[in-house]
Structure 1
């Protein structure tokens, strides 16, 4: 199977120490692999929310003389279709464009999952950890909470860590003392420094860190053993996170497959729910 333009862009950026602004530029280009070779430095700066000089410094950081040289290289290694002269999606309103952007993110995730090995490895790690800490703060707290809710139906000991503060390290220590071997983290922009520090501490404790992040260039990457990216939508005032949510469900499925008694646990829950009249329909 040939590499996608996005995968070729990832390889171009890997191994470089990028500043936060440069990571935003790299992430923006990976999310738009077809457009990237045709964007001007001004257009790329606007899309990434950085200054035009930041784009120039980004190109130099990658080893190019400037952005024009980087763009020529992109047209060779990650060629895409030139922008539609007839307008294309520009006829859609902002709400429709946000939805279409999320559809693109899901397509990118589907392409990534063509190689199931990272997800399957993550599933084994999460299933084997007793207890299983699930970390997500601020914007990622809802993703962590949703994962923990469903994971608790089939995993015997799930511990949700969705609040920061001085107790966070204590709870990581307690999970490790209780036998935890792995941790799953949901990390979304803007990335709280507290999450980065917590993952660094988790690694010091010997925990294997599985991370769902918006990009392989996210600040948490340096403290993750398995990082699987799922892009967020940036077309609205607040980011949209359909792809990270779906990736969380995929990881749940992979974990489910590694727990022999998972089907029995689900059946027992369903029977108890019926007996209690838990659901209206």
Structure 2
């Protein structure tokens, strides 16, 4: 079966870390796969709703000298008169299918539970337990901390950068913390790398959930467990890192003797207060 122009374009973008603006250009190209080899940089910029210099930078990010070189390549990739197949998944479906594939890879990784079990023990033993996540990873850290606080006696969420971040890490260490859990997702803030360096210098064992085993935080982590992010939309999707966070939460619960009792106490208080409507 002959590949469609859209599929060929997708292959061109694979393996490149593109900014949200560059992804908008890529998505616009896929939607107009049959026409894009004949568009000027100005026309492509207008179609994508970006500036013309952004199109030039996009071409360079793909490894070309500039947009003219990219367009010449596209004329080979997408020959005249070719039309995209009508039964191919659209870009939204492709994003979902890519996330399903990321979850499959995570399931394969978890066939060896030893790293997760080790991480669960480290997190359970830390009193307090600092949980770090900045910018794109803040939501992952916040979600973990919300549920972890129901079973762990002292969880400290670190989801804001700035000069106070190092102070809060030191405060946790002085209060008895032995480990720090970090969620690190692209684009990786420099502050996260600096914070992990500071945490290890202070004597904390760093457990990290990152998008890749080769992420910039890898050299600053004692135990890193990867979970890929989806890159098919303008902004990354992070289903696999979120699920890995819940897996780590489960492993931590297994190492906390009083976890079930704390959950039952919370449920009783919630019922007494009428906290939930269901």
Q: Tell me, yes or no, if structure 1 residue 195 matches structure 2 residue 192.
A: yes
Gap runs ≥5 in structure 1: 1-39, 55-86
Task: State the 4+ residue runs in structure 1 displaced beyond 3 angstroms.
Answer: 42-47, 87-90
The alpha carbon displacement at 1:51 in A equals 3.5
- Structure 1 residues 108-187: aligned runs within 5 Å: 108-187=105-184
User: Does the C-alpha gap of structure 1 residues 90 and 134 become closer, same or farther in structure 2, counting only changes over 3 Å?
Assistant: farther
How far the C-alpha of 1:153 sits from its partner, in A, is 0.3
Give the superposition deviation at 1:88.
Answer: 9.7
Change (3 A) 1:114 1:46: closer
* Contact 1:45–1:52 (8 Å) recurs in 2: no
CA distances 1:4-42 after superposition (whole Å, capped 9, x unpaired): xxxxxxxxxxxxxxxxxxxxxxxxxxxxxxxxxxxx9x9
Match status 1:52 vs 2:63: yes
Query: What is the root-mean-square deviation of aligned Cα atoms in Å?
Result: 2.2
Q: What displacement does 1:46 show?
A: 5.4
**How far off its partner does 1:222 sit?**
0.5
Q: Is 2:252 aligned against 1:255? A: yes
In our comparison, the structure showing a higher alpha carbon Rg is 2
**Following the alignment from structure 2 to structure 1, what is the Cα–Cα distance between the partners of residues 135 and 171?**
22
For the residue of structure 2 that corresponds to 1:219, the secondary structure is coil
Name 2:55's counterpart in structure 1. none
In the alignment, structure 2 segments of 5+ residues that lack a partner are 1-7, 19-60, 66-83
Query: 1-side partners of 2:124 and 2:179: how far apart?
Result: 9
Structure 1 residue matching 2:217: 3-state secondary structure: helix
> 1:272 deviation in Å?
0.4
Q: 1:209 to 1:276 in 2, by over 3 A?
A: same
Q: Report how far residue 52 of structure 1 moved.
A: 2.9
Instruction: Determine helix, strand or coil for the equivalent of 1:52.
Output: coil
* TM-score computed with the length of structure 1 as normaliser: 0.71
2:219 equivalent in structure 1: 222
CA distance in 1, matches of 2:89, 2:182: 35
Aligned residue pair count = 210
User: In the alignment, does 2:258 pair up with 1:275?
Assistant: no
TM-score by length of 2: 0.72
